[in-house]
Amino acid sequence: MLLKSLVLCFVLMSSRAFSHGVEGAGALKEGLSYAVVADFHLRSASQGPSDSVWSIPGFLMGGEATPMGKGLNIGEGSLSTVYKLGDMFTTARLEQHGNARGVELSNLSLGYFLTDSLYFELGQLTSLAATYQRRSPFQDSHVSIPVVYDVFWGRHYTDRGLRFVWQGASASCGVELWTGDRFPAAQNDEGNGAGDIFCHMGLTHDSWEFLGEAFVFVGDSDRRQDDRYEGGHSHGVQTEDIPQSFFTGTVEVFGVSAQPKYKLNQNYHFGVHAEIQQLQMEGDLLLDTRQTEIESKLQSLWVESFFQFDQTTFSLRYQHLRYKNDLFGNGAEPITEALGIGGVGDPIRRSIALRHSFDKNLQAKLEWQDNSAAFYREEVVLLGISWKYLGHIEAPL
């Protein structure tokens, strides 16, 4: 109830807007705008075992949350485009990430500005709810993806759907309706539907800036399973060794975040980012011939402090996941053991990162992680390089 109340308070707040996704009609240029991003990193150790399924004890995982290996990894390679003609626009995104084989068309949509501040978009979309789903590597001081997005969202939520977004002088809010055939909702061909509401906001006063957001996501699952290692994504794992479990029920995710920042002067800034998410899951869990009822409450805390001096940013990040899985029935004990959702203690990650921007298109990062026993490796060092290129082609007369 407390988290739901916080969400409601944030949604009702009035503040200065900052936009994500498509810009307002007046800000978006006529013609073709495009962005090319290449993000690579080296890891001192793999994120998970190479010959078995990677999972974090206590959590049912899915989506595209596959482990990064030791050595060179592709964080993101993408080409994103937005073409605007009058009040209509189209978006497309070709992407390769997480060492997946081949390039996929992750986004393809058609949109229309009903007014200068209100638009709708229809097609294959990535959700605008939750902070990290909208971030590019250039907006993050760390190399690694926050753990909660692997566990709660399968790295990110991309689905076929429709969204309406309003962008005013003091807030950006929207509603998204999904087919619901992606994790954490139903992961099958039929999908029972999902939806979310979100609000982003910001405040400025003298040398202070404040960014905040809130969202609620609700989805139905119909025989959702972990298919991360199927369809060319086996990563050397024998798929016949993967426990075939199916979840049918409801999933709800709530979240709030806040980021105050203080500018000492034009070149020196410091601030804090704090984000809380909670996932509740209730339904039936089937494994082989065994079935049990499950009620899960999963919580995530992400707190980060950062200090920026000139082109360099130093940051400290703390992440803490908590879980409470209650299973009922004769199959409860064997299913808990087989799927590893009994857990071995709360997953906790502490990390330190240093980012340097050589110019607006090129940056390097160094990160050190200290992980609790719930993770595959306790200490990891990562070195990353991110490059981008932005361009625009005017619309023909």
Domain of 158, CATH number, reads 2.40.160.10
Range of the domain at 234: 2-393
| φ, ψ dihedrals at 385, nearest 5° | -130, 130
Reading the block at residue 188, the tokens are: 């099958």
Closest CA to 362 of 80, 64, 26, 40: 40
pLDDT in tens, 366-381: 999 999 877 777 899 9
What are the CA-CA distances from residue 143 to residues 139, 308, 371 (Å)? 11, 17, 15
What are the CA-CA distances from residue 141 to residues 36, 168, 211, 274, 313 (Å)? 19, 28, 17, 14, 7
The SS3 call for residue 243 is coil
- Mean pLDDT, the chain, integer: 85
335: pLDDT strictly greater than 90: no
pLDDT in tens, 218-266: 999 888 888 777 655 555 555 566 677 888 899 999 999 999 999 998 8
Cα 103 from Cα 145, distance rounded (Å): 20
Instruction: Count structural domains, the chain.
Output: 1
Contact between 201 and 16 under an 8 Å Cβ cutoff? The reply is yes
What are the CA-CA distances from residue 10 to residues 92, 143, 209, 225, 264 (Å)? 31, 29, 16, 34, 27
Check the CA dihedral 136-188-340-74 and report its sign. Answer: negative
Percent of the chain at pLDDT > 90 equals: 52
pLDDT in tens, 142-168: 999 899 999 999 888 999 999 999 998
